[in-house]
């Protein structure tokens, strides 16, 4: 990346792999705002790494009735995806200026608990979904309720249905549609062959406050393309946003160099088969949200794509926000939230929540010290105007 001038976002694809695909065409970098030079971290650390918890992140926000802003996340005892993890929380009494010390909400000596999502339930309670990970081949998604703003929680309620042995899902993936329906995305390992795995996505929805869950579709949504023959393939870690007209848009992680999209016109009951979107994206998740009071959709994601670089499909040194004014058909607006000068400093797995005209964003920040690698949580507040400036500029430049 260093030493070259690139348009944002930048995409490289293996020519040989594309040739093997026959009709596949090389991905070209969209024109737009140039990538800025690297800059110091914009976000502040709200969960630091410790010897007991070197890895932290993949969380979700929710405002509480007493005015506090709660952020829940996975607190790991090691750096691996399969290291033992607990669900922890920090709270801010002043809209994000200051944060409490971490507290553990749930832990299990035999199972990792991770990937939390939060939602305000139709009856006013708080809902929390999280993954349970026993091994690289066994996982499930569960749900808990709280009637006292997160002080106590119900027993687990199953979300995933066991149709596959490994069913999990990314953090911060709840969406409420209408008065009573809540949706949460879950992905499954459809095929496991040695070190290779193929992933597919389901949407689980509840209309009774999370007491029961139904799955759609019955067969997982997936992506069959894997041009660089990476060990992971398929469609996973998806995010859903409700568009201005009521349609639901879902974008997901693939190994093609692009996010793939699926759409629903019936509040999430049925979904179209995934197809390639116009959003370049590495092997990393996208977080979708909509700017309040507008039709503008935001995609917060890692902007660098290079399928030659390894399993990640591009180093995650740039965390960017793309904007779309046409329901996710095109993504012309581009602004960088973070841009590290160091290839080993990554920003990824964002969570996002609007309070009024302010977007709260938290994300993992990876680095190294004398003890080794670590991941901590950084947080930034961005005003609505910060995103709309780019939309207004694009509109002014359009013929």
Q: Which residues contact 318 (CB under 8 A, 6 or more apart)?
A: 9, 35, 302, 303, 304, 336, 338, 339, 340, 347
Tokens of 382: 């961005």
Integer Cα distance of 149 and 120 in angstroms: 10
pLDDT at 148 (0 to 100):
98
pLDDT at 302 (0 to 100):
96
Please report whether residue 167 resides in a domain: yes
Integer Cα distance of 329 and 88 in angstroms: 37
What are 151-175's pLDDT values in tens digits?
999 999 999 999 999 999 999 999 9
- pTM of the complete model: 0.90
Residue 393: count of CB within 10 angstroms of its CB: 14
pLDDT at 194 (0 to 100):
76
Domain range enclosing 292: 11-397
pLDDT at 37 (0 to 100):
85
Please report whether residue 2 resides in a domain: no
How many CA within 13 A on the CB side of residue 213? 25
pLDDT at 187 (0 to 100):
98
Q: What are phi and psi of 18, to 5 degrees?
A: -65, -40
Q: Which of 299, 307, 178 lies closest to 238, judged by CA?
A: 299
Please report whether residue 317 resides in a domain: yes
Could you tell me the CATH number of the domain that includes residue 168?
A: 2.120.10.10
3-state helix, strand, coil in the chain (%, to 5): 5, 50, 45
Q: How many domains does the chain have?
A: 1
pLDDT at 35 (0 to 100):
63
What are the angstrom distances between the C-alpha of 214 and each of 83, 173, 207, 211, 220? 30, 16, 9, 11, 14
Please report whether residue 3 resides in a domain: no
- The owner of tokens 């179209």 is 272
pLDDT at 395 (0 to 100):
62
Please report whether residue 56 resides in a domain: yes
Tell how strand 11-12 and strand 305-306 pair up.
Answer: parallel
Q: Which helix (H) or strand (E) holds 388?
A: helix 384-397
Please report whether residue 5 resides in a domain: no
pLDDT at 398 (0 to 100):
63
Please report whether residue 339 resides in a domain: yes
DSSP string, 62-104: EE-TTS-EEEEEEEESSSSTTS-EEEEEEEESSTTSS-PPPEE
Please report whether residue 46 resides in a domain: yes
Integer Cα distance of 283 and 314 in angstroms: 7
**pLDDT tens, per residue, the chain with 399 residues:** 333 333 444 333 333 333 333 233 333 433 334 467 889 999 999 999 999 999 999 999 999 999 999 999 999 999 999 899 999 999 999 999 999 999 999 999 999 999 999 999 999 999 999 999 999 999 999 999 999 999 999 999 999 999 999 999 999 999 999 999 999 999 999 988 877 899 999 999 999 999 999 999 999 999 999 999 999 999 999 999 999 999 999 999 999 999 999 999 999 999 999 999 999 999 999 999 999 999 999 999 999 999 998 899 999 999 999 999 999 999 999 999 999 999 899 999 999 999 999 999 999 999 999 989 999 999 999 999 999 986 666 666 666
What are 24-34's pLDDT values in tens digits?
333 343 333 44
């Amino acid at each position: 990346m260093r030493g070259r001038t690139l348009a944002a976002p930048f995409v490289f694809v293996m020519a040989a792999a594309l040739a093997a695909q026959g009709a596949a065409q090389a991905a070209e970098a969209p024109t737009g705002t140039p990538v800025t030079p690297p800059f110091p971290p914009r976000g502040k650390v709200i969960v630091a790494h410790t010897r007991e918890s070197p890895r932290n992140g993949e969380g979700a926000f929710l405002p509480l009735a007493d005015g506090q802003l709660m952020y829940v996340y996975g607190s790991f005892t090691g750096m691996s995806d399969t290291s033992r993890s607990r669900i922890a929380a920090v709270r801010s009494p002043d809209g994000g200026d200051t944060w409490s010390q971490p507290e553990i909400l749930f832990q299990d000596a035999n199972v990792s608990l991770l990937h939390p999502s939060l939602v305000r339930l139709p009856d006013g309670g708080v809902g929390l979904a999280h993954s349970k990970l026993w091994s690289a081949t066994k996982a499930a998604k569960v749900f808990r309720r709280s009637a006292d703003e997160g002080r106590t929680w119900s027993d687990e309620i199953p979300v995933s249905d066991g149709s596959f042995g490994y069913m999990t899902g990314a953090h911060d993936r709840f969406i409420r549609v209408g008065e009573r329906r809540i949706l949460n995305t879950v992905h499954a390992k459809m095929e496991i062959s040695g070190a290779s795995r193929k992933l597919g996505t389901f949407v689980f929805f509840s209309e009774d406050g999370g007491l029961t869950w139904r799955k759609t579709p019955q067969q997982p949504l997936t992506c069959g393309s894997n041009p660089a023959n990476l060990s992971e393939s398929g469609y996973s870690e998806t995010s859903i946003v409700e568009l201005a007209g009521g349609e639901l848009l879902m974008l997901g992680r693939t190994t093609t160099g692009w996010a793939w999209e699926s759409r629903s016109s019936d509040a999430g009951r049925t979904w179209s088969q995934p197809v390639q979107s116009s959003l370049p994206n590495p092997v990393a998740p996208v977080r979708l949200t909509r700017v309040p009071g507008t039709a503008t959709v935001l995609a917060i994601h890692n902007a660098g794509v290079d399928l030659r670089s390894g399993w990640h499909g591009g180093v995650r040194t740039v965390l960017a926000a793309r904007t779309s004014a046409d329901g996710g058909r095109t993504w012309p607006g581009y602004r960088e939230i973070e841009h590290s000068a160091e290839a080993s400093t990554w920003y990824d797995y964002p969570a996002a929540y609007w309070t009024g005209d302010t977007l709260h964003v938290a994300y993992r920040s990876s680095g190294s010290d004398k003890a080794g690698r670590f991941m901590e949580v950084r947080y930034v507040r961005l005003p609505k105007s910060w995103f709309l400036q780019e939309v207004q500029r694009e509109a002014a430049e359009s013929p």
